[in-house]
Amino acid sequence: MKKTLLIIATMVLTVSAWAQFTVQGTVVDQTGEPVIGATVVVPGTTIGTVTDFDGNFTLETSADAQITVSYVGYKPQTLAVVQQMHIVLSEDAEVLEDVVVIGYGVAKKNDMTGSVTALKPDEKNRGMVTSAQDMIQGKIAGVNVSSSSGEPGAGAQIRIRGGASLNASNDPLIVIDGMPMDASGTSGTSNPLALVNPNDIESFTVLKDASATAIYGSRGSNGVIIITTKKGAKNQKPKVSYNGSFSLSTIANKLDVLSADEYRDYIKTTYGENSAAFKGLGEFNTDWQKEIYRVGLNHDHNVSLSGGLSNKTVSMPYRVSLGYTGQQGILKGSDYRRFTGGFSLNPSFLKDHLTFNINGKYAWSHTNRGGQDAIDAAFSMDPTRPVTSDDPAFENWGGYWQWIQPTTVYDPTYPYERNGEGSANPMELIAHYPNDMSANVLIGNIEIDYKIHGFEDLRLHANFAGDYNMGGEFVNKSPQSTYGYYYGGKGESKTTKYSLLATAYAQYYKDFNENHHFDVMAGYEYSKNRWEGNSWNEDYYPLTAVGTDDDGNPLAGTTHYASTSHWRGQTILVSWFGRANYTLFNRYMLTATVRADGSSRFAKGHRWGVFPSAAFAWRISDEPWMADVKEISDFKLRLGWGQTGQQDTGKEYYTPIYQTTTQLDRLYPLGPDNDGTLYRPLVYNEDLTWETTSTWNLGIDFGIFQQRLTLNLDMYKRNTTNLLCTPTIPAGMNYDNKMLLNAGELENMGIELAIVGRPVQTKDWFFELGINGAYNHNVVKELYGGRDMIEAGMTVGMQKNVTYHKVGQPANSFWVYQQVYDENGRPVQGLYVDRNGDGNIDDNDRYFYKSIAAPWTGGGFFKLSYKNWDLGANFRFSIGNYVYNNIVQSRMNTEVLYNPSKGTYSNSTREIIALGWTSYEYPLSDYFVQNASFFKCDNITAGYNFEHAGKTDKYEGISGRVYLSCSNVFTITKYKGIDPEQAGGIEGSVYPRSRTYLVGLNLNF
């Protein structure tokens, strides 16, 4: 990298010598096909041209000049001129692959010893991209990204190699321009990635194995994703680009509930035409799901300006970008708007001895989550009722029809209240949704890199980064709404959070001779994460209120209820780290790293952890005896071992403490001088410490035919010990029945394979095909206190634990009863297989049946281009993941479709009604644990690229691209619920993922 910079700098100096000289040349690609329209310029001058239809060009310049040849998708080349030139451009992908950003530094791809995948966002083959996570979904073997829902601005669950923990966080560490982000996000937004404009991302580096992540120590167990943002380039003319899109989102899959007529028929057949049940039905036909959903309109605009200023000693690349995203959710009333702005400056001084990397990013987002309770309500709401009604009884809900009952609790203006046992009117929930969320985020860093004058082998590096964010939620409940009936109410909740990071390291390079390269790095890091928040809520007696308080004062207009709360927390991590690399003969590479972390989450004596790693790589293809095997362009073997930790326990301190009452409505005043504040001794564990994961990784990188076919294979074994988990503990031993402790051992073994092939690569045609797949086997080896199983956290029905961690089984396995089916294949209510044959059905008849996590996952893509046209698609699969279908379970009792006890009706699906169960008592049946393997087409995109639009003598014209795309195209699955992709392994009534049709435009001026 540095070398290239030097060349460019030298070039600047040489331009001054000037003599006329004609250059004729041809530009071809690696296959020998001419490259049409490639740009040929003399850097630092205004001299330039483009290649013609046969890839030829002619240029007048001075004899000692150099030219730079560039073309979109290819690696630019700078060459000294000769009269006849034949220039072969190679593909751009290699540019990225050359140098990869790793933890605390960069490494040449060739020299990497760990399992590291670098990914440059694919600008062409992509669908709707709102967040950075959308760009890596399905792209990397062993990395699973699953958006949490279809809500605009929603977060995602990212798992690298299946996650190493049971109860501690399994989220990978995300590092943006050197700043490790706090996984908990900001109030007012969903996750830290949601606030980085994806158009600003230059590259992702995913560190998967411990030899690569151990440098992140106690935060490295679940992998690391390093995001680098785009920068300007030296000596580049100001370049303006625009990326924009317009899209429509529609509902992909609804729940198939009964229509109004079907519902009437059902009631008629079940209860009879003369029954109270039938007579009590409404006469309307309302499709509630149709009412609540809409076609969402989205648009997205991004403008960037980049370039580089320079003179003899100082250069200053820059990039400035602005972005705006506006999304309407498919649920009426939900929307998301985001504005982002960012800049990066990379000045260098003193002949590149002193370089700076200064980044600043700002994001503002506004989310209106919409009345999401309407989604569940629309499944259940009686379809024979109208959306609105003129009946004065509904006046107090703004005319929205509701299940109501007379009341005297309020005042004569409010003679009815909602019967809370029936569904609220979904449209009322949407119309009167009171919340508004917004967030402001500022992230910045200054990196300083200094090569010591006269001792250039030593480099000092410092990074100061900060992240400040402020998010809030505002509530304004109408007295005419389900959410704030009668008393109305206002409230606000705000959190301010900041993170500070200071890193300093020194790196020493030494090439002893051609065959021995050595470098060592040592550093220190301090990071602090602090947050603070306030909230208040108030509601009021309306002016119509007639009552009096205990002292006889009228209540009308007074505050009925008020509360405030305040919270604050921090975590601090202090670290030392180092890395040494040794390369012999350019083909044997050794890397060792170590990091020591001290975490404020643990008590003295349990606080510091040391995380070492070592790795070895062998570039077999560079062996002299391989020189003759021309077909093999790359063959490398990697072996690594390392230890990493996990300290994100969800708790920020370790001390034995009391929790105090913060709300003024839950007091228990008792005796003199006692205002009723309560203290609760909290469960605590002073012996708590981080969990440790040891990983072995064996990898093979293989490429043939000049990398037209590449293959990456990784095998790993990870053992996590001292697992942080929260099992049930004996009652009375501490202050809770569950406690966070270090317990047990978990093993993950897996294999990952990624293959990319470019079978067709001609002048007009290009075809690339990639597939990646991963297998991960996860098994619990040991648990706390000699026990062999603990609850894993998913509860169903009335808080029945259904998932367990059991020794010998995968984590999060379902422990269920085996359902008995009738001759028609329908599950018989309450009938389970007596597996132990003792004549009783009890816990001893439960068995382990499947688990949440998919053992097999992967993705694939293809890209096809013909001249200026291109077509691409991305796919993703997951095999063997099981989902608990809670949509069905929570509606299993068909008797309550008509519920006179509570005075309500509710809707259901044909399937559930056909089963005819009359109870919710059997949620532990394996019937509800359903195979949710899926194959999804995430997007299909077709585009047309153009150049030189509006070209004049002086202006090269506009280049760009127009494209059409469809996201969430189709899903193939046997799963019986709405969407098999459920990160938590249970499907309730979540905001459905939409199908999006998009038209986009990129312009480069």
User: How far apart are CB 114 and another protein at their closest, in Å?
Assistant: 28
* Binder of another protein out of 80, 295, 733, 972 (CB under 8 A): 733
The correct pick among 901, 950, 952, 953 for binding another protein (CB under 8 A) is: 901
Dig out the tokens for 95 from the structure: 């540019």
**Cβ atoms of residues 203 and 116 within 8 Å:** no
Strand partners, 386: none
CA separation for the pair 371, 337 (Å, rounded): 17
According to DSSP H, which parts of 273-391 are helical?
276-279, 288-292, 373-380
Residues between 120 and 139 that touch another protein (CB under 8 A): none
Question: Which residues touch 355 (CB under 8 Å, ≥6 apart)?
Answer: 346, 347, 348, 349, 448, 449, 450
Asked if residue 601 binds another protein (CB under 8 A), the reply is yes
In this chain, which stretch among 69-77, 148-156, 894-902, 982-990 interacts with another protein, using CB under 8 A?
A: 894-902
The reply to whether 392 sits near another protein by the rule CB under 8 A is no
Across 72-223, the runs of DSSP E, i.e. the strands, are 77-80, 84-89, 99-102, 105-108, 116-119, 143-147, 156-160, 173-176, 179-180, 201-207
Q: Among residues 916, 928, 923, 922, which one has the least CA distance to residue 824?
A: 916
By the rule CB under 8 A, 785 interacts with another protein: yes
Residue 604 binds to another protein (criterion: CB under 8 A) = yes
- Output the six-digit token pair for 135: 């760009």
- Going 26 to 28 to 32 to 33, the CA torsion angle's sign is negative
Count of CB atoms situated within 10 Å of the CB of 467 = 24
Alpha carbons 938 and 20: distance in angstroms, whole number: 55
Q: How far is the CB of 929 from another protein (least distance, A)?
A: 18
Dist. CA 539–CA 563, nearest whole Å:
9
Where does this chain touch another protein (CB under 8 A) — which range of 128-136, 302-310, 406-414, 470-478?
Answer: 406-414
In the complex, least distance from residue 837 CB atom to another protein, rounded to whole angstroms: 13
From the list 56, 58, 407, 564, which residue makes contact with another protein (rule: CB under 8 A)? 407
d(CA 978, CA 993): 10
Instruction: Please report how close the Cβ of residue 832 comes to another protein at its closest, in angstroms.
Output: 13
* Interface stretch with another protein, choices 178-186, 187-195, 428-436, 597-605 (CB under 8 A): 597-605
* Contact call for residue 278 and another protein (CB under 8 A): no
Q: Tell whether residue 274 is a contact of another protein (CB under 8 A).
A: no
839 scored as a contact of another protein (CB under 8 A): no
Output 94 or 788, the one with its CB closest to another protein: 788
Q: What is d(CA 299, CA 999) in angstroms, rounded to the nearest whole number?
A: 10
Q: Which stretch binds another protein (CB under 8 A): 2-10, 47-55, 161-169, 789-797?
A: 789-797
Judged by CB under 8 A, the chain residues 631 through 660 that form the site for another protein are 652-660
| Identified binder of another protein from the candidate list 157, 285, 405, 706, rule CB under 8 A | 405
**Residue 570 beta carbon to another protein: minimum distance, rounded to whole angstroms:** 6
* 433 counts as binding another protein under rule CB under 8 A: no
Q: Does 351 bind another protein (CB under 8 A)?
A: no
Helix (H, G, I), strand (E, B) or coil at 502: strand
Per-residue binding string, another protein, 161-200, x by CB under 8 A, is: ----------------------------------------
Strand partners, 728: 738
* Count of positions on this chain that bind another protein (CB under 8 A): 117
Taking the complex as a whole, how short is the minimal distance between the CB of residue 508 and another protein, in angstroms?
A: 15
From residue 142, give the alpha-carbon distance in Å to each of 313, 535, 850, 914. Answer: 45, 41, 20, 40
Q: Interaction with another protein in 507-566: which residues (CB under 8 A)?
A: 524, 526, 528, 530, 547-550, 555, 560-561, 565-566
Q: Which residues ranging from 657 to 716 are in contact with another protein (CB under 8 A)?
A: 657-674, 676-682
**Burial of residue 283 (number of CB atoms within 10 Å: 0-12, 13-18, 19+):** exposed
List binders of another protein among 462-501 (CB under 8 A): 462, 486-487
Q: What is the closest distance, in whole angstroms, from the C-beta atom of residue 277 to another protein in the complex?
A: 10
Q: Is 928 in the site for another protein (CB under 8 A)?
A: no
Q: How far is the CB of 34 from another protein (least distance, A)?
A: 50
Does 834 bind another protein (CB under 8 A)? Our answer is no
Q: Which two tokens stand for residue 821?
A: 């089916």
- Please report the DSSP string for 523-558 in residue order: EEEEEEEEEEEEEEEEEE--TT---B-TTS-B-TTS
C-beta of 211 vs 599, nearer to another protein: 599
**Under rule CB under 8 A, which residues in 445-464 are in contact with another protein?**
448, 450, 460, 462
The amino acid that residue 32 corresponds to is G
Non-local CB neighbours of 349 within 8 Å, separated by 6+ positions:
313, 314, 355
Choose between 444 and 960: whose C-beta lies nearer to another protein: 444
Residue with Cβ nearer another protein (235 or 890): 890
Q: Which is nearer to another protein, 391 or 511 (CB)?
A: 391
Separation between Cα atoms, residue 659 and residue 164, nearest integer Å: 31
Residues 28-67 that bind another protein (CB under 8 A): none
| Nearest approach, Cβ of residue 533 and another protein (Å) | 10
Does residue 627 touch another protein according to CB under 8 A?
A: no
- Asked whether the beta carbons of 470 and 202 are under 8 A apart, the reply is no
Spatial distance between the Cα atoms of 305 and 309, rounded to a whole number of angstroms: 13
